[in-house]
Amino acid sequence: MFEAALSRLGRMGSFLWAGWSGLAGLALLAALWQAGHEAYGAFILPSPLETLAAGAAILSDGRAWEVAMLTCIRAVEGFAVSALAGAVSGLAAGYFPATMRLARPLVTVLLGVPPIAWIVLAMIWFGSTDGTVVVTVVVAAAPLVFVGVAEGVMTRDRGLDDMARAFGAGPVQRLITLGLRHVAAHLFPALAVALGMAFKVAVMAELLANVGGIGGELARSRANLDVAAALAWVTIAVAALIVVEYGVVHPVRSEFERWRAAAQPWGVKR
Amino acid sequence: MSVLSLSHIGHAYFGRTVLDRIDLDVEPGEMVALVGPSGCGKSTLIHIAAGIVEPLRGTVAAGYRRHAMVFQEPRLLPWATARDNIAYPLRLAGIRARERRARAGAAARRVAFDAVDLDKYPAELSGGMRQRVAIARALGVDPDFIFFDEPFTALDAALKRRMQDLVIDAARNARFAALFVTHDLMEAVRIAHRIVVLDVAGKGIAGQRMLPGEPGTREDSDVFAAVQAFLKRDPLFRHIHDVNERRVA
Ligand SMILES: Nc1ncnc2c1ncn2[C@@H]1O[C@H](COP(=O)(O)OP(=O)(O)O)[C@@H](O)[C@H]1O
Ligand SMILES: [Mg+2]
């Protein structure tokens, strides 16, 4: 019990340590940004500090939080639907090859159509509503989850299945203790990518469909030629994504992937 | 009364017959070595006997209480620790976590698997240790019959010997019967009461030889002499080292 808590604490420590190196990367980006600012001037590219100040000014206003929340809710809603639909259909496709043969061309088509085209269609179908944003997010993100899960199922180790059968496991037990457990390893990376996609597409759909949220604010900044505000809103969108990803997706994933970390030699742990 | 009885077993993959008219009985507490060249259908037969593969023809009558199996590869769950791997069949049987832990620990001791390694993942263990975990997993369910499918083929000679001794001791203490597939005649002579030779093309049992004495009490020199005698003078073993690469699986 105590040991388990200790090892979890240790993992949290290495997680925070990884946060430091991430911060170093961000600092590098800020330095390049500052250089760009000094080369092109404040009108084209405001300095990072100015942008942060603009962001702080925006967030000190209560309304801005509502705007950001609106985008977050839309993105997370679309993401949740994508995760569920993608995971269920991915499982079906992985376990039943006939389904896969039907689904593969569909996925190719879905992934091949640019999100912008979906936004136009969704606007025609749903008008300027939440529905437009959520549907666009689902269409863009669900195939990613689907592919991850289906690949997970198809790369499962049949030897383990036979082993479980030799020890008397029924089909449901094999699905739960082997199939789903193996799929989880493929599911979480796919979910992380889908989540990022959900935020990006949500902002884009908001901007084009003119339905408020961060995208709506970006449209306004553009109209006012207010580059600092535009960059500040982008920063806020990225920050929201990072909070959700590092607050939810990564901790859950690292719980599931302790064995992978164990397999890595010392010194190359993430 | 046999604990395992195979009658008229036949099997084919995609219309190609690999086994035909196989009859084999195993008595309680008896260790039977099943030998034959690579690709003759040994794995297929033992998978059928263990109920993993449904035979095309014939019947499998099992009179044992509980069986277990050890494969050529360890087949451990990569995401579970050694302890959880040993306890996996117990988890399938619905045994409570606390008792699982205790029984997994006891099974690990029986195969001399160090307790400090129980919380390691398979990727952190050597090949020999992984196979020890696989044997502990089989012993952990307290079986009265164990299927072995060339479990030590991938190990080096010294390790192989240690593992064989381990199985011989475990079989004597726990009194389980076993079907032990191998293509190593030396291994078969060390470990078994009886050697059954599968036909080169899987067309029935080519023949069988009883081995004198109890496994574990045979002198190395006797084992060596017996193997030499089989290979040089016994026509039953003429094809044992044939390898038909195209048929190897
Ligand atoms: N799943 C399978 N599908 C098709 N052919 C197979 C399969 N498993 C084994 N075989 C074939 O059956 C024959 C017997 O294989 P196997 O039982 O593995 O032999 P052994 O264990 O004696 O080496 C081989 O020719 C092999 O190619
Ligand atoms: Mg084999």
pLDDT digits (tens, 9 = 90+) for A208-220: 888 889 999 999 9
pLDDT of B249 reads 47
Residue B202 has a pLDDT of: 78
Per residue in A89-140, pLDDT (tens digit) is 998 888 888 888 888 888 888 888 888 888 888 889 988 888 899 999 999 9
Q: Quick one: B121 and B223 in the same domain?
A: no
Task: Tell me whether residue B213 is in a domain.
Answer: yes
Of the candidates B142, B163, B182, which is a domain's last residue? B142
Domain of residue A205: give its range.
48-260
Is residue A152 domain-resident?
Answer: yes
Q: Is residue B72, in this structure, part of any structural domain at all?
A: no
Asked whether residue B200 is domain-assigned, the answer is yes
Residue-wise pLDDT tens digits, B107-138: 999 999 999 999 999 999 999 999 999 999 99
- Domain assignment present for B26: yes
A117, part of any domain? yes
> Atom 16 of ligand 1 has which residue's CA nearest to it?
B41
Q: Which amino acid is at B247?
A: R
Strand pairing class (B205-210; B57-62): unpaired
Q: Count the domains in chain A.
A: 1
Q: What pTM value is reported for the model?
A: 0.81
The CATH number for B179's domain is 3.40.50.300
CA A173 to chain centre: 31
Q: Which of B133, B123, B28 is nearest to B89 (CA)?
A: B133
The answer, yes or no, to whether residue A233 has pLDDT greater than 50, is: yes
Tally of structural domains, chain B: 2
Determine the average pLDDT of the residues in A231-257: 81
Q: Are residues B214 and B236 in the same domain?
A: yes
Between A264 and A41, the more confident residue is A41
Instruction: Pick B191 or A263 by higher pLDDT.
Output: B191
Mark whether B180 and B135 lie in a shared domain: no
Please tell me the distance from the alpha carbon of residue B79 to that of residue A217, in angstroms, as a whole number: 46
Local confidence band at A25 (pLDDT 50, 70, 90 cut-offs): confident
Same structural domain, B231 and B148: yes
pLDDT score, position B243: 65
Enclosing domain of residue B34: 1-65+144-249
B124 touching chain A per CB within 8 A: yes
Amino acid identity for residue A140 in this structure:
A
- Residue A26 pLDDT level (bands cut at 50, 70, 90): confident
Per-residue pLDDT at A110: 82
Give me A66's structure tokens: 């509502």
| Shared domain check, B115 and B209 | no
Instruction: Tell me, yes or no, whether B73 lies in a domain.
Output: no
Of the three residues B103, B119, B142, the one that is the final residue of a domain is B142
Mean pLDDT (whole number) for A182-188: 86
A127 CB contacts (<8 Å, ≥6 apart)? Answer: none
Highest mean pLDDT among A67-71, A147-151, B79-83: B79-83
Q: Would you say residue A193 lies in a domain?
A: yes
Statement to judge: residues B57 and B168 lie in one domain? yes
Give me the mean pLDDT over the B180-186 stretch.
93
B1 lies in the same domain as B117? no
Residue of A167, A178, A182, A259 to mutate for B, most B C-beta atoms under 10 A: A167
Contact A250, A191 (CB under 8 A): no
Q: Residue B57, SS3?
A: strand
Report the pocket of ligand 1 as residue ranges, CB < 6 Å.
B 13, 18, 36, 38-44, 247-249
The overall average pLDDT reported for chain A is 86
CA B128, B130, B133, B139: dihedral to nearest 10 degrees?
Answer: -60
Q: Which residues pair with B25 in a beta bridge?
A: B5
Q: Which residue has the tokens 């089909």?
A: A171
Nearest CA in chain A to B90: A167
Query: Looking at this protein, which amino acid is placed at residue A215?
Result: G
Task: Specify whether the CB–CB gap between B131 and B92 falls below 8 A.
Answer: no
Cβ neighbours of residue B120 under 8 Å, at least 6 residues apart? Answer: A262, B81, B82
Please report the pLDDT score of residue A21 as a whole number: 79
ipTM: 0.90
